[in-house]
């Protein structure tokens, strides 16, 4: 049992290390809004193309930000599943 716990801790450490290395970019509106996130789902940056401000459509901008965030989060989950599968040989159940 003690060895099992040590192996589980090693596996957890490796997974966290891999998650910290993940960087993804989610986008919406054909790349007009881009959000970069790390593997711990922290937002690193938000890029908004200046053309969006010319239209002065705040609701559209809000929707694009939400969509870009959702896209980035989905990409993080995919990368997390890939990392877990590479470490354990077993995939996470689909989310």
Helix (H, G, I), strand (E, B) or coil at 24: strand
Quickly state the pLDDT bin for 93 (edges 50, 70, 90): low
Per CATH, is 2-88 categorized as 3.90.930.12?
no
pTM for the model: 0.78
Q: Which pLDDT tens digit goes with each residue over 11-30?
A: 888 888 888 889 999 999 99
Sorted by where each begins, the domain ranges of the chain are: 2-88
**What is the average pLDDT across 28-38?**
96
CA distance 56 to 61: 9
Widest Cα–Cα separation across the chain? 63
The confidence score (pLDDT) of residue 9 equals 85
Quickly state the pLDDT bin for 82 (edges 50, 70, 90): confident
């Amino acid at each position: 049992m003690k060895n099992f716990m040590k192996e589980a801790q090693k596996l957890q450490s490796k997974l966290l290390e891999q998650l910290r290395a993940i960087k993804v970019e989610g986008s919406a509106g054909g790349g007009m809004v881009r959000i970069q996130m790390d593997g711990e789902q922290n937002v690193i940056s938000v890029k908004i193309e200046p053309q969006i401000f010319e239209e002065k459509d705040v609701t559209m901008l809000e929707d694009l930000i939400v969509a870009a965030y959702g896209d980035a989060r989905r990409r993080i989950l995919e990368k997390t599943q890939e990392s877990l599968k590479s470490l354990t040989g077993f995939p996470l159940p689909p989310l």
